[in-house]
Structure 1
Amino acid sequence: MVRELKEVQGIIIKRQKYKEADLLAKVFTKNDGIITMIVRGALRPKSRLGAATMIFSYGTYVINTSGHGLSMLRTYKEVKQFDNLYQDMTKNAYASFIFDLIDHAFIEYQSLGKYFDLGEFAVRKINEGVDPEMITQIVQMQLLEAYGVKPELEKCVICGKTKGIFDYSIKLGGIICSDHFYQENNRLHLKPKETAILRTIGLLPIERLGNISISEDSKKATRDAIDRIYRQTVDLNLKTKKFLDELKLF
């Protein structure tokens, strides 16, 4: 198996003890996907590699890799950190859940493409102080496609109508207009404004995101709706989500 030295740019999204003083660290990259690196001696006092692979560090990592399995971290360049994510438990919890959600949608070394941009932009916004719950809801809605569950949000899944009053049907995989509410007893029974929020956050390119101002009631309704969509279509059981629930954030 041929191994090579390679530079990858990315964000450290997870780390765990490996052997004695060593760590396994996952780095989130755009072109090379999610890579697990062995970090030798990372747990030793004053280890530079350990400091460079703290959670939510980002920069350039030089790895010895074969393109599968575990890679070896050799050195690093220009590593910085999302300090607010690291220091704030709430922001940390949301960012950890976002990365966990993306991590479970892809196999290692699979190119993330637009989902790298989605994840990076999301954690930058959370680090800057933008409402982490709404950023997380945006990621959840836009990541459904990566799980093979792309909801129809532009038009009624039954008749194609694009304007009017809409609700969401998990069974039918998208929005339905009020002309067909009587046909779908299992729709989510969202208020028109709440369905509009789901449509917006599912379709809006995240780089066009402006100021977010949504009432707590609407936010809770969309949160519950997204949770139901995931439970019934993706069925994940993530520890990071449980932690958010325990914090009463979700």
Structure 2
Amino acid sequence: MQYQVQGIVIRSMDYGEGNKIITIFSREMGKIAVIVRGAKKLKSRYGSVSQLFTSGQYLFFRSGQLGTLKHAEIVDSHHAIREDLHLSAYASYMAELTDRMLADQEANPYLFDQLNAAMKGLIEHKDMQIISFIYEMKIWTHAGYLPELEVCVACRREDNEMAFSAALGGMLCGSCRFKDLKALILSSGTLKLIRLFARMDITRLGQIDVKPETKTSLKNLMRSYFDAQIGVPLKSRNFLDQMDKYGI
């Protein structure tokens, strides 16, 4: 059967001498894997449409799990992302999150629009770290992993001294903080932002200025929660950590 979808390439791997298999996150069908014959050849007309982060219209035939590309047109090559180490690193992180956290052929137009807006945001020089935080929370929400951010996970009340427990899956009030001595103490600014990110639509994200120390706090919160509750190993996250470690 033949299908036409709007999609973003979130994974690309060599297949045989001249072919590639690409994973497309599509608006209509979710994640789909398609073989692009001759994509590695120098004069291939499909070489560009099979590059990572490319947004396009893809026409393919499928009789089993793996489709075969018949035609494609680029909507946005996102070449500026591939040409910049930092942009590429954060785009790779969001693409790998999508690939690892979502099931195949599970359509989610909203999440597709969020990823598409995230890619555009990177090109428009919006804060790449903030964009990745927000998109990651969209993935958590879709996968059913969003932490409790409004009330205490233990007693269900809210106070002004909330801390975040990765192990217990959300906020702890001052009275219940003893339940997790490793809970992260949050500033009012960090608490406000993490709640905002859970609701924010990336398509409406403007320029946002967040203090470096607040971004560090947000990163620690999100990393600790991901490791405690989800635990999916991500190569792209390791690369981001290496960049931070060596100040690249």
Residue identity matched to 1:42: A
User: Is 1:36 the counterpart of 2:46 in the alignment?
Assistant: no
Change (3 A) 1:79 1:199: closer
The offset of 1:183, in angstroms, is: 4.5
Structure 2 unpaired stretches of 5+: none
TM-score by length of 2: 0.91
Residue identity matched to 2:110: K
User: Is 1:19 the counterpart of 2:16 in the alignment?
Assistant: yes
User: Is 1:214 the counterpart of 2:204 in the alignment?
Assistant: no
Structure 1 unpaired stretches of 5+: none
Alignment partners' CA distance in 1, 2:236 and 2:162 = 32
User: Is 1:167 the counterpart of 2:169 in the alignment?
Assistant: no
Alignment of 1:57-206 (within 5 A): 57-66=54-63, 68-162=64-158, 164-206=160-202
Residue identity matched to 2:61: N
Q: Which sits farther off after the overlay, 87-96 or 133-142?
A: 133-142
The offset of 1:180, in angstroms, is: 3.2
What percentage of aligned pairs have identical amino acids?
28
The offset of 1:32, in angstroms, is: 0.5
Alignment partners' CA distance in 2, 1:178 and 1:160 = 12
The C-alpha deviation readout for 1:42-79, integer Å capped at 9, x for no partner, is 1111100112222222111110013x511000111344
Alignment partners' CA distance in 1, 2:116 and 2:102 = 16
User: Is 1:50 the counterpart of 2:47 in the alignment?
Assistant: yes
- Is contact 1:147–1:234 with CA below 8 Å preserved after alignment? no
For the residue of structure 1 that corresponds to 2:210, the secondary structure is coil
Change (3 A) 1:207 1:177: farther
- Is contact 1:59–1:80 with CA below 8 Å preserved after alignment? yes
The offset of 1:153, in angstroms, is: 1.6
Alignment partners' CA distance in 2, 1:151 and 1:142 = 12
Residue identity matched to 1:49: Y
The offset of 1:121, in angstroms, is: 1.4
Residue identity matched to 2:182: N
- Is contact 1:165–1:177 with CA below 8 Å preserved after alignment? yes
Alignment partners' CA distance in 1, 2:226 and 2:132 = 13
The C-alpha deviation readout for 1:130-162, integer Å capped at 9, x for no partner, is 010111111222322333322112333344445
Residue identity matched to 1:170: A
- Is contact 1:102–1:115 with CA below 8 Å preserved after alignment? no
Alignment partners' CA distance in 2, 1:103 and 1:173 = 23
Residue identity matched to 1:75: H
The C-alpha deviation readout for 1:155-214, integer Å capped at 9, x for no partner, is 333444456332212233222333433444231122332222222212323334232111
Alignment partners' CA distance in 1, 2:5 and 2:215 = 37
Residue identity matched to 2:38: G
Alignment partners' CA distance in 1, 2:75 and 2:44 = 14
- Is contact 1:30–1:116 with CA below 8 Å preserved after alignment? yes
Q: Which sits farther off after the overlay, 210-219 or 106-115?
A: 106-115
Alignment partners' CA distance in 1, 2:159 and 2:208 = 23
Alignment partners' CA distance in 1, 2:108 and 2:92 = 17
